[in-house]
Amino acid sequence: MAMRWKRALALAAHRGGLLPAAGALFGGRRLTVLAYHRVADPHAAGFDSYRRNVSATPAEFAAQMDYVAEHFHPVSLEQVEAALDGGPGLPRRPLLVTFDDGYRDNLTAAWPALQERGIPMTVFLATGFIGGGEGFPWDRAAWCFRHTALRHATLPVVGERSWAAAEEREAVLGAWLEALKRLPDAAREEALEALPGTLGVALPDDAFPNLCLTWGEVREMAGAGVSFGAHTEQHPILTRVPPERARSEVRGSRRRLEDELGTAVRTFAYPNGGRADVDETTVRLLSEEGFRLGFTLLPGPERPSAARRSPLLLRRIYIHLGDYPARFAAKAHGVPRLLRAVR
């Protein structure tokens, strides 16, 4: 019932043109950063990777970018970095579009839509997966669940689980992956390695031949104006690995990017990026490694004063599959964060 009321209120506010006015309460120069992972159709034939990592279908993304172009002033990563370094200020209602990980549909589906509308694009790469066919851990797990003949299993970490319909199987997969996030990195890897045998499947080496970008495609996009930042090598949650591993991941991803692109990299997006995934130690690590900007997934938008004060803790608005137009508009204008602030 509560969800229906929230949707009804969002639709009414959207139709009445109230959302931009509500967002204006943050101030016209607040920084809005949208965070995406993938633009794809998760129900297409042959889709074997993790459906919940899809942020929008191509049609939804195009509509969202139409709204962005109409109600915001899209900016580039370089403009944001320059403004926070004391250079030219950002325009009113600045908005930055970012993607995490490095999926190939960033090039094939998202980038054309952004080019058509003149909206800059930023991609934070988990460099260890670029140009390879291994797939991210959650995509490998999704493949195992998708191809198992079982309807019941004693899963690593969470124990016995059952599923019948595809929706139940996806829910079990999602809950299992969330449980893994709370584990230390070594225990998480052990659970992932055990999963195929538990589900009675053999994950082929070529399960994901075109899932991620290649380095040639990254260079092509960079040459066309796409900005790139670091996102570790193997995508560990930095607060759950030993300090030396965290430093190696941060430093290694930056060095690989700089070697491939021939340009300095001073921006970073924290894997997972929630409150439990970013702490004083990780922020200090980024500062010591020479990063200027760090992007979390703490809900935005960000006030200019806060962005200047803590440029390694910039907020982003996480876009989910199924964010219908009114909900997307509310999130983009910062209404959810505004409502939390006035409680």
**What is the Cα 64 distance to its own chain's centre?**
16
Long-range (24+ apart) CB contacts under 8 A made by 253-260 are 253/125, 253/126, 253/127, 253/128, 254/230, 254/289, 254/291, 256/127, 257/125, 257/127, 257/228, 257/229, 257/230, 260/215, 260/218, 260/219
Structure tokens at 281: 């130690």
Among the four given CATH numbers 3.65.10.10, 1.10.287.990, 3.20.20.370, 2.40.30.170, the one describing domain 2-133+208-341: 3.20.20.370
* Chain segment 249-258, per-residue pLDDT in tens: 999 999 999 9
Q: Inter-axis angle of helices 185-199 and 166-181, to 10 degrees?
A: 150
Residue 6 has pLDDT above 90, yes or no: no
Task: Give the residue-averaged pLDDT of 161-188.
Answer: 92
Write the DSSP string, 66-78: HHHHHHSEE--HH
Q: What is the mean pLDDT of the segment spanning 21-38? A: 78
* Element holding 133 (H helix, E strand): none
What secondary structure does DSSP assign to 43-96, as a single string?
Answer: TSTT--S-GGGEEE-HHHHHHHHHHHHHHSEE--HHHHHHHHTTSSPPPSSEEE
Domain ranges of the chain: 2-133+208-341, 137-199
* Residue among 62, 9, 7, 27 at smallest CA distance from 300: 27
Amino acid 310: pLDDT: 96
pLDDT of 338:
63
Backbone angles phi, psi at 54, to 5 degrees: -85, 125
- Mean of pLDDT values over 145-152: 95
**Looking at residue 46, what is its pLDDT?**
87
Per-residue pLDDT tens digits for 268-289: 999 999 999 999 999 999 999 9
Q: Are 208 and 165 in contact (CB under 8 A)?
A: no
pLDDT in tens, 75-94: 999 999 999 998 889 999 99
Q: What is the pTM of this model?
A: 0.92
**18 burial level (CB within 10 Å; 0-12, 13-18, 19+):** middle
Nearest CA to 212 out of 129, 317, 88 is that of: 129
Look over the chain and give the mean of its residue pLDDT values, rounded to a whole number: 91
- Over pLDDT 90: what percentage of the chain? 80
Does 1 score more than 50 pLDDT? no
State the pLDDT at residue 25.
56
Token pair of 240, please? 């759950």
Dist. CA 96–CA 211, nearest whole Å: 24
Over residues 198-215, the mean pLDDT reads 93
